[in-house]
Structure 1
Amino acid sequence: MFNNFIQTLYNLADTYWVGKLGSNEVAAMGLVFPFIYLIISIGMGMNVAGTALISQYVGTNDTGNAKLVAGQIFTFSLILSTILGIVGFFTTDHLVGIVKGDAAVLDLSSQYLSIMFLDMPVVFLFFVYNSIKQGQGDTYTPMVLNVCGVLLNIVLDPIFIFTFDLGIRGAAIATIISRGIFAAYAIITLFSKKQPINLTRKNLKLKKDLLFQILKVAMPASIGQSAAAFGFIILNAFVLSYGTATLAAFTIGNRINSLVLMPAMGIGSSIATIIGQNLGAGKNDRAKLAFKTSVYLSTLFMVAGCTILLIASRNVVGIFVKDDPEVLKLGIRYLRLICVGLPLMGIFQTLIGTFQGSGHTGYSMTMEMGRLWGLRIPMIVLFRYFTDWGSDSVWYSMLLSNLFICILGYLIYLKGTWQQKVIHEKAVI
């Protein structure tokens, strides 16, 4: 949970300092976030596959194959992220041009996004580090490195944004530097013989059969999250159609919401390891008990977070708004409406973690794609043209789509097919 909280502080620190530049800059950050998420979702798919396979091999006490999986993920992620970063850097203007909107906002978006593409190899390789550690049940070490990175980012943000007068580009540069330093250290430790699962040159050589097995688990997770990211690009376009102030309010609200979601995301992340290790060890009843316990815990945390946001929404939104009463008004409205559905997000994260930890990422893909493309975006279109709710129609669509997709996810859980192992019974070394 604390690790997710620290990761969220990256975005909050940027939003706080960029918010002092104006609402256009905040809107620009919100506009490009789905583009960034679209790219890193591929790396997140490899992270999911790594956690699922490594945790199941750890559950069977097969360290050799766990190391081999780790090496395959490292090499493939390094090659892929470098290619994506380079291509993205040189096509930024074309990507941002997909979204129609205010020219000033689009220009700021391009400035920020082009620099963030250079961060892709760092992000992907830190995902590899997280998946290896998380597969072993170690969430403490990545958390320490994230804490150090965030603290450095908070220090560097105002320096690059204001002292060096780089504006929104300064926020991107500060993030890359602060994240890169500690990601480099994390990668070096992966090759230390003191680590239970350490990488060697032999592990790094790609093996077609094993890589195919990894991609078989990774691809549905990547597709699901990529489709969700692209759906958020479309969602941002709808929000932007109601004005820059609405998009700025939406961005600020999401940053605050992500902070409150931190416990649920932490639980969803940790249950993936617990599910994987127990399925690997053949303890399916314990895996099901972990799911039930996670639902109770996440719901409890989300109800508490919802209560706090309803009471303090005006003060919280006001932290990020610089002399813009329209953004303040819309931000408060959005936050109050969306926080009512926070308990549903706790259940959603638990279901996603369960399906990803078991390696049945097709189920998590169905939930992620269905939530946006099957439910939310069609609802937004219908509400836009057949109601007079204005920007509230987007918020209502978010609430209803979360409700319906949780019902679908629970029905999939009840089928029980997620309890089947995805690792080979025989060694693949």
Structure 2
Amino acid sequence: MWRLFFAIGVSIPITTLIFSLGDSLGQGTNSIMSRFIGSGDYESSYNALIHGIILANILWVGVVICMIFAHGILFHFNSLDSYILTFDYLMPIAIFTYIFIFNNLLAETLQAEGNSKTPTVLIIASNILNMILDPIFIFNFDLGIKGAAYATILSSMIIFSIFLHLYSHGKTKIPLSLKYFKFRRYILIEIFKVALPNFLNDAIWCISASFINSTLIMTMGPIGPILYSVSNKLKTLLVAPVRGYGRGLMSVTGICSEQKNLMA
């Protein structure tokens, strides 16, 4: 059992980095969409959403390739080694990174149109469903560490299908349609201006967390990463209201700043 929790604890920095791709990209897309909405240029806002989705597809392919090479090159342990369990958990997550990236991206773009309630409810529901499915997949289906990954994927896939339903059935203010797509380099630049700093901040944390995990393994053994992962979960819970406030403020600020420019 401790090997299972050890593998999840060691995997947290990497999964956090994967989830940060969608979150950062969503914040960048949110920012430019909010500014277009504030200036009254709604079609450019629709176009910005599609740019964000195209970038998400490119990132997904990159993550899968990186994980495949990492699995084949960096780890050459036997089947009993705990690091193999780590990749048993990470590989399904990497393959289905598409879902996690898009869930975070679409949660942010919904906030750009002033709808923060729907993505909040869906993300919370996904976490609750994940907690319910974890013991079922791990113990009842006897899948071990892979069961934890499958539970996360299934719960996120359900939320992903709801996001797609909202956008494909016209239940959002900003439609998702390729007819609005026109490649604009400046939209990509504006997305990266916001997304890159946020991603680099998360990347620095992931690197430091991995270093701390390696130190804890040497000094405390497998229990070290487990305790560290629990403390990080508590920290995430404590800072969640602040991050939520910041994201809401981003959308409002973008809209108001452009409206102020128009009035001037």
TM bracket, shorter-chain basis: 0.7 to 0.9
Considering only CA atoms, is the larger Rg found in Structure 1 or Structure 2? 1
Which residue of 2 is the match for residue 210 of structure 1?
Answer: 187
Structure 1 unmatched ranges of 5 or more: 1-20, 284-424
Q: Does residue 130 of structure 2 align to residue 188 of structure 1?
A: no
> Cα–Cα, structure 1 residues 60 and 222, in superposed 2: closer, same or farther, change >3 Å?
same
2:63 aligns with one of 68, 72, 84:
84
Which residue of 1 is the match for residue 155 of structure 2?
Answer: 178
Give TM-score scaled by structure 1 length. 0.55
Which residue of 1 is the match for residue 199 of structure 2?
Answer: 222
Q: Distance in 2 between matches of 1:242 and 1:29?
A: 19
Q: Deviations over 1:111-168 (max 9, x none)?
A: 1111211221001111221121111221111123224323432332121100111111
Which residue of 2 is the match for residue 131 of structure 1?
Answer: 108
Which residue of 1 is the match for residue 16 of structure 2?
Answer: 37
Q: Distance in 2 between matches of 1:203 and 1:228?
A: 37
1:206 shift after superposition? 4.0
1:197 shift after superposition? 0.6
Q: Deviations over 1:267-316 (max 9, x none)?
A: 23322223323323339xxxxxxxxxxxxxxxxxxxxxxxxxxxxxxxxx
Give TM-score scaled by structure 2 length. 0.86
1:95 shift after superposition? 5.0
In structure 1, what residue type is equivalent to 2:8?
M
> Cα–Cα, structure 1 residues 111 and 187, in superposed 2: closer, same or farther, change >3 Å?
same
Paired residues, what number?
259
Higher relative contact order (CA 8 A, sep 6+): 2
Q: Deviations over 1:69-112 (max 9, x none)?
A: 11110122123213322441453364567xx9xx7332221211
> Cα–Cα, structure 1 residues 197 and 208, in superposed 2: closer, same or farther, change >3 Å?
same
1:70 aligns with one of 27, 49, 64:
49
1:41 shift after superposition? 2.8
Give 3-state SS (helix, strand or coil) of 2:168's partner: coil
Structure 2 unmatched ranges of 5 or more: none
Q: Distance in 2 between matches of 1:93 and 1:237?
A: 21
2:130 aligns with one of 130, 150, 153:
153
Q: Deviations over 1:232-284 (max 9, x none)?
A: 2223222322222222211122222322332223223322223323323339x
Q: Distance in 2 between matches of 1:146 and 1:96?
A: 33
Which residue of 1 is the match for residue 6 of structure 2?
Answer: 27
Q: Is this contact kept in 1: 2:18–2:101, CA < 8 A?
A: no
2:97 aligns with one of 111, 114, 120:
120
Matches within 5 A, 1:152-301: 152-204=129-181, 206-243=183-220, 244-282=222-260
Q: What CA RMSD, in Å, does the superposition of the two structures yield over aligned residues?
A: 2.6
Q: Distance in 1 between matches of 2:234 and 2:201?
A: 24
